[in-house]
Amino acid sequence: MDKRKVYLDYSATTPVKEEVLQAMLPYFTESYGNPSSLYSIGQDSKQALETAREQVAALIGASPREVFFTSSGTEADNWAVIGAAESMAKKGGHVITTAVEHHALLHTAEYLEKRGFEVTYLGVGQDGLIRLEELESAIKAETTVISVMFANNEVGTIQPVEEIAEIAKKRGILFHTDAVQALGNVPIDVKKLGLDMMSVSAHKIYGPKGVGALYVRKGLALPSFMHGGGQEGNRRAGTENLTGIVGFGKAAEIAKAGLQGHIARVSELRDYFVKEVSARIPDIRINGSMERRLPGNANITFEYIEGEALLLLLDLDGIAVSTGSACSSASLTPSHVLSAMGVPVEMIHGSLRFTVGDFTTKEDLDYTVGSLVRSVEKLRSISSVSKEKGWQ
Amino acid sequence: MAMYNDKVIDHFTNPHNVGELLNPDGEGTYGSPVCGDMMKISIKVENDVITDARFKTFGCGSAIASSSVATDLIIGKTVEEALKVTNRDVLDELGGLPAIKIHCSVLADHAIRSAIYDYAKKTGKTYVGLEGFDPGADEGDTHHGCDMEHKGCEKE
């Protein structure tokens, strides 16, 4: 088989779409004015900025004035959770989040703990989902903020965000969700869902890296996170990343127009991939709920082998995927998400995440399955553990 | 493949001495799947010379490459010489590993010692290089049953 380049890590980042790039280009060299400047090219930039704000707002059902551009989803998470917890500190110092959040949220919660806040980390079931009863019983009089991710980055499971928002609202608690993975993959309407704050990012929806946004419900007095000039309605200082924001706007516009088609196409490809892998490779496990899941995500454990070795063999065949094993990061601990779901540690080491996107073809997946069959067989022939002999 | 040099990739994709010996003279295991890597090695010894060695490894690319190189290094050596092979020798032979992967070479080093320990126990022999070696000593319970020195394979 001819070697191809196959990218199956759309949850890590996405390529910038050609139309997005074309929309951005004039703002580097022609319309380079500072949006805060009063002369014409400054005002042109201001206009481009506000168009992008409308485009992003339209994708999430918000009003443009509720969208604040940031440098990343991580910045939006930090701003929302720290800002909300600190501004509510007089009422109480208890924050609820989950054990399966992205590090952008987990490490922010740990920061709050160091600052004297109390944080409850809700567990998840084998399906990767939190239990609403557990959330309700975790709420105390001092609880001021709940932050639960919309969809998980490793296993793609979609949390019951609308129900959580309702519980939070009833108890007078602010609710934030990290929707970085969900944006452009799930229909989102912040008004219908009843969200207070939501983090999003451009580079997961075929926009550029280095730009994100925080949705802040109108009337919510979230303190500013960056202090300086009057950009972003005095709430996020610093000259705007104009080219990035224009790209984000264009990517949001494209995502909104093609959302149903994207979901249908990508989930069909993912389902095909899972079906093929299941049929052709024995002793695998699919991690997380297949019902409440992002369309492009498949997280698969290949028993009796180690994931990074498999990732390398796939890479040698030109295929890019990511591992949920300890090998994927500098940390000793294997994937905190799979751990929280109760996946045995030895199996976490053999887990890979495949994420399909708009440029993935059926041929790419056939090629990947072929490489997987050979690579898994090869590593199992080298491995000191096996189905016959067990894990010892 | 920016992470590993060509030699490591070669030993990973075409590892030498994979398998299990029938009626081995010594067998050793080090690591555990919970820790992220485990090597099993079996050796044949004739006239105090290691005439053959085979390994099986559950682990990342550098654990497999280290196993391949380490078995190459001990075949043809006397037992006492084989005991002098260190993880440094494995690293040198591989042309280096990323800093965070150096522990993978320790896996092979320990597994070899365990196999020779088994051989010495079965034959009643004593070796200077085995003094103070306890095959189970490092398998503490500090982290999922993984000791801190042997912490599986990590990547930056």
One digit per residue, the tens of pLDDT, for chain A of length 392 reads 577 999 999 999 999 999 999 999 999 999 999 999 999 999 999 999 999 999 999 999 999 999 999 999 999 999 999 999 999 999 999 999 999 999 999 999 999 999 999 999 999 999 999 999 999 999 999 999 999 999 999 999 999 999 999 999 999 999 999 999 999 999 999 999 999 999 999 999 999 999 999 999 999 999 998 999 999 999 999 999 999 999 999 999 999 999 999 999 999 999 999 999 999 999 999 999 899 999 999 999 999 999 999 999 999 999 999 985 444 444 456 899 999 999 999 999 999 999 999 999 999 999 999 999 999 999 999 999 999 988 88
Is B146 annotated in the active site?
A: no
Q: Which residue has the tokens 């105090």?
A: B48
pLDDT confidence band for B104 (50 / 70 / 90): confident
Contact A316 B34 (CB under 8 A): no
**How much is the pLDDT for B101?**
86
- Write down which residue in A257, A276, A303 finishes a domain: A257
- In a domain? residue A387: no
The Cα-based distances of A366 to A124, A127, A374, B96 in angstroms read: 33, 27, 13, 35
Q: Are residues A72 and A189 in the same domain?
A: yes
pLDDT confidence band for B146 (50 / 70 / 90): low
- Write down which residue in A222, A257, A292 finishes a domain: A257
**How much is the pLDDT for A60?**
98
Alpha-carbon distance of B35 to A211, in angstroms, equals 38
Which ipTM was obtained for this model? 0.90
Contact A306 B34 (CB under 8 A): no
**How much is the pLDDT for A334?**
83
Structure tokens belonging to residue B128 = 């200077």
Q: Are residues A231 and A312 in the same domain?
A: no
Residues in A closer than 8 angstroms to B136, CB to CB, are none
Taking the Cβ of residue A319 and every Cβ of chain B, the question of whether any pair is shorter than 8 Å is answered with no
How is chain B split into domains, by residue range?
A: 6-124
Taking the Cβ of residue A304 and every Cβ of chain B, the question of whether any pair is shorter than 8 Å is answered with yes
Closest CA–CA distance from residue B61 to any residue of chain A (Å): 5
- In a domain? residue A392: no
pLDDT confidence band for B137 (50 / 70 / 90): low
- In a domain? residue A391: no
Least CA distance to A390: which residue of chain B?
B33
**pLDDT tens column, A190-222:** 999 999 999 999 999 999 999 999 999 999 999
| Chains A, B: CB pairs < 8 Å | 83
Q: Are residues A272 and A124 in the same domain?
A: no
Provide the H-helix boundaries in B15-144.
61-74, 79-83, 87-94, 103-123
Which residue among B60, B104, B146, B153 is the active-site one? Answer: B104
DSSP B35: G
B152 has a pLDDT exceeding 80: no
Contact A383 B18 (CB under 8 A): no
The domain tally of chain A equals: 2
Nearest to B82 by CA among B136, B57, B119: B119
Nearest to B145 by CA among B17, B29, B31: B31
Q: Are residues A60 and A208 in the same domain?
A: yes
CATH number, domain of A338, equals 3.90.1150.10
Q: Are residues A211 and A275 in the same domain?
A: no
Q: Are residues A145 and A206 in the same domain?
A: yes
Radius of gyration of chain A (CA): 22
Q: Are residues A264 and A253 in the same domain?
A: no
Contact A309 B36 (CB under 8 A): no
**pLDDT tens column, A75-103:** 999 999 999 999 999 999 999 999 999 99
**How much is the pLDDT for B154?**
44
Q: Are residues A166 and A281 in the same domain?
A: no
Taking the Cβ of residue A328 and every Cβ of chain B, the question of whether any pair is shorter than 8 Å is answered with yes
Q: Are residues A78 and A226 in the same domain?
A: yes
Contact B152 A313 (CB under 8 A): no
The minimal CB distance from A383 to the residues B13, B56, B155 is found for: B56
Q: Are residues A278 and A239 in the same domain?
A: no
B32 has a pLDDT exceeding 60: yes
Contact B38 A330 (CB under 8 A): no
- In a domain? residue A384: no
Which residue among A25, A327, A373, A385 is the active-site one? Answer: A327
**How much is the pLDDT for B99?**
84
**How much is the pLDDT for A333?**
66
Domain carrying residue A263:
6-15+259-379
- Write down which residue in A195, A230, A257 finishes a domain: A257
Closest CA–CA distance from residue B148 to any residue of chain A (Å): 9
Q: Are residues A265 and A244 in the same domain?
A: no
- In a domain? residue A388: no
B52 has a pLDDT exceeding 60: yes
Q: Report the share of chain A in percent with pLDDT over 70.
A: 97
Contacts of A85 (CB under 8 A, 6+ apart): A93, A95, A112, A117, A144, A145
Taking the Cβ of residue B153 and every Cβ of chain A, the question of whether any pair is shorter than 8 Å is answered with yes
B148 has a pLDDT exceeding 90: no
Query: With DSSP H G I counted as helix, E B as strand and the rest as coil, what are the percentages for chain A, rounded to 5?
Result: 45, 15, 40
Taking the Cβ of residue A339 and every Cβ of chain B, the question of whether any pair is shorter than 8 Å is answered with no
- CATH architecture of the region B6-124: Alpha-Beta Complex (3.90)
Is B35 annotated in the active site?
A: yes
- In a domain? residue A236: yes
Taking the Cβ of residue A330 and every Cβ of chain B, the question of whether any pair is shorter than 8 Å is answered with yes
Q: Are residues A267 and A218 in the same domain?
A: no
Alpha-carbon distance of B64 to B17, in angstroms, equals 11
Taking the Cβ of residue B123 and every Cβ of chain A, the question of whether any pair is shorter than 8 Å is answered with no
Is the separation of the CB atoms in A281 and A373 below 8 Å? Answer: yes
The minimal CB distance from A308 to the residues B1, B61, B156 is found for: B61
Taking the Cβ of residue A315 and every Cβ of chain B, the question of whether any pair is shorter than 8 Å is answered with yes
**How much is the pLDDT for B143?**
40
